[in-house]
Structure 1
Amino acid sequence: MELLHYTFFQNALWGALLASILCGCIGTYIVTRRLVLISGGITHASFGGIGIGVLCGWSPILSAMVYAVLSAFGIQWLSHRTDVREDSAIALFWTFGMSIGIICCFLTPGFMPDMPSFLFGSILTISAPDLWLLAVLTIIVTAIFFFFLQPIISVAFDNTFARSQHLPVDLIEYGMMALIAMTIVATLRLVGIVLAISLLTIPQITANLFTYSYRKMILGSIAIGFADCLLGLLVSYQLNVPSGAAIIFMGIIVYLLARGTKMLIIRSHRE
């Protein structure tokens, strides 16, 4: 309990809570819309923005956010063309972003001490500006989902039907892609580029084991995501291992336990 008196641990708890709310909303859309592969491409493409920011002396997070949003728009536009497959469009932006990031980092004079935190995450080093970014983005996303949840659900499950209802499908899709990109970059400090997509999928598929309601899935993934973060922080503290990897590891453990529990419930009902 003495950890609660330290500012860095208080920041980690606030970051975990905000990220859980943010990823609960956006991650549910990703899972139901089956955009996991696209989100993985955006995650790795954002490394190009980090490299550009480091080389030019800009904020790596802000430059990564701009680059990630542009990459998301590029993937969305290119994958809808008849002459380009979706996985090919993802691979194009994925590899291009990574190559740009690596080249820029090597061209930057001196050593970049924050590189491991961008790649693997370190929630215990999250700063006040990172928290403000998470807070602002969480408020924006929560407001959008509160006021426009029904159109988002319609596009997520059947965009052809949504078009027949005269909904602005293209605007919603591009808007959600932008939010996905910004969410990914905002959580890089927590779990890093390597593991960011896990925070947007594992709590959601865990919640999906027990409910098919979109709203309940959002709420469940928020609670599960926050629990994963707390358990990961505990494991990280006890074993002295990177916090980002510990959070994702505990998320997978929670998923396996939840799946086992559901199988036992189903078996008991059959008997």
Structure 2
Amino acid sequence: MLEILQYDFIQNALIAGVLISIAAGIIGSLVVVNKITFLTGGIAHSSYGGIGLAIYLGIPVLFGATVFAVLTAILIAIITLKNRTRIDAIIGMMWASGMAIGIIFVDLTPGYNVDLMSYLFGSIIAVSKEDLIYMSVLDIFIISIIVFFYKQILAVSYDSEFASLRGINVKFFYTLILILAALCVVAAIKAVGLILVIALLTIPTYLAESFASRLSTMMIISSILATIFTILGLIVSYTYDISSGASIILVAVVFLAIVKLFNLKK
């Protein structure tokens, strides 16, 4: 099995897997604690519009997806802060609109025939050096934000009313959390794709909750679990010649099922 490490694309995939897992573990913890899984899903699928626009304009796909995802996150933050009563319908419309915009721009791109399935379901073995640089910068940025604003983010995540009374700008940090989620989603596109990204963000965190009593501990455990799932998923993908994104999520689901069955027997 170790002979596969001689290939550059496998080395890049492993590095990408670790980098994405760190971001997914940290942001996934915030997504679960803040109960914004559905909002993050809306951001993920809306970012497909950025992918289509980037392809049409001939600019880097990750750049286009990042700008689109961040703008969507800000818009969602504004809407949810003002009116939460119909947020499910609004997110559903944004979800569908982003996908539709992406498809239309791809259709309008002359001579474009690249397989778009890699953006929907991931293709971590196709990551480039530029992608690795993007993921590395993202990890540094996320970790820096979390370390610098940890107390404020912790307060907003668990009790926004108390945080507001303490003078913390709840709107700013809520928006910041959604922006970080958007950036993480874009980075994870290469690993598991837009369709499966929410599973990578939530399954490791769901498992980590059983072993952590603090948010910081949950983030660390989630990152470790996401790394394990990603590496094992890559091994399964290479061994059986199947989709890497689906393999990673399947490994995570199997682990989750085993843990739940074990807990039921106690």
Report if TM-score (shorter chain) is over 0.5: yes
Conserved 8 A contact 1:78-1:84: no
Conserved 8 A contact 1:53-1:63: yes
Instruction: Identify which of structures 1 and 2 has the higher relative contact order when contacts are C-alpha pairs closer than 8 Å and 6+ apart.
Output: 2
In structure 2, C-alpha distance between the alignment counterparts of 1:203 and 1:94, rounded to whole Å: 24
Q: Which residue matches 1:204? A: 205
Q: State the secondary structure of the residue aligned to 1:235.
A: helix
Any runs of at least 4 consecutive aligned residues in structure 1 with deviations exceeding 4 A, and if so which?
none
Shift of the 83–205 alpha-carbon distance from structure 1 to 2, 3 Å rule, reads: closer
In structure 1, C-alpha distance between the alignment counterparts of 2:91 and 2:256, rounded to whole Å: 27
In structure 1, C-alpha distance between the alignment counterparts of 2:84 and 2:160, rounded to whole Å: 21
1:168-247 alignment, distance < 5 Å: 168-247=169-248
1:141-156 alignment, distance < 5 Å: 141-156=142-157
Conserved 8 A contact 1:75-1:93: no
**1:262 shift after superposition:** 3.0
Q: State the secondary structure of the residue aligned to 1:105.
A: helix
**1:10 shift after superposition:** 0.7
Conserved 8 A contact 1:209-1:259: no
In structure 1, C-alpha distance between the alignment counterparts of 2:16 and 2:183, rounded to whole Å: 15
In structure 2, C-alpha distance between the alignment counterparts of 1:38 and 1:129, rounded to whole Å: 28
In structure 1, C-alpha distance between the alignment counterparts of 2:152 and 2:50, rounded to whole Å: 31
Q: Deviations over 1:146-179 (max 9, x none)?
A: 2221111111111111100101111111111111
Shift of the 2–92 alpha-carbon distance from structure 1 to 2, 3 Å rule, reads: same
Q: Which moved more, 1:85-94 or 1:61-70?
A: 85-94
Q: Which residue matches 2:54? A: 53
**1:84 shift after superposition:** 5.3
Stretches of structure 1 that go unaligned for 5 or more consecutive residues are none
Read off the aligned partner of 1:155 and give its amino acid letter: V
Q: State the secondary structure of the residue aligned to 2:261.
A: helix
Stretches of structure 2 that go unaligned for 5 or more consecutive residues are none
Q: Which residue matches 2:63? A: 62
In structure 2, C-alpha distance between the alignment counterparts of 1:82 and 1:190, rounded to whole Å: 34
**1:238 shift after superposition:** 1.4
**1:89 shift after superposition:** 2.0
Q: Deviations over 1:224-259 (max 9, x none)?
A: 101101110111111110000000000011111122
Read off the aligned partner of 1:87 and give its amino acid letter: D
Read off the aligned partner of 1:206 and give its amino acid letter: L
Q: Which residue matches 2:129? A: 128
Read off the aligned partner of 1:49 and give its amino acid letter: G
How high is the TM-score relative to the length of structure 1?
0.94
In structure 1, C-alpha distance between the alignment counterparts of 2:150 and 2:115, rounded to whole Å: 37
Query: Structure 1 vs Structure 2: percent identity of aligned residues?
Result: 36
In structure 1, C-alpha distance between the alignment counterparts of 2:264 and 2:139, rounded to whole Å: 34
**1:83 shift after superposition:** 7.9
In structure 2, C-alpha distance between the alignment counterparts of 1:155 and 1:125, rounded to whole Å: 38
In structure 2, C-alpha distance between the alignment counterparts of 1:114 and 1:212, rounded to whole Å: 43
How high is the TM-score relative to the length of structure 2?
0.96
Q: State the secondary structure of the residue aligned to 1:34.
A: coil
Shift of the 35–196 alpha-carbon distance from structure 1 to 2, 3 Å rule, reads: same
In structure 2, C-alpha distance between the alignment counterparts of 1:15 and 1:144, rounded to whole Å: 21
In structure 2, C-alpha distance between the alignment counterparts of 1:196 and 1:246, rounded to whole Å: 13
Read off the aligned partner of 1:157 and give its amino acid letter: Y
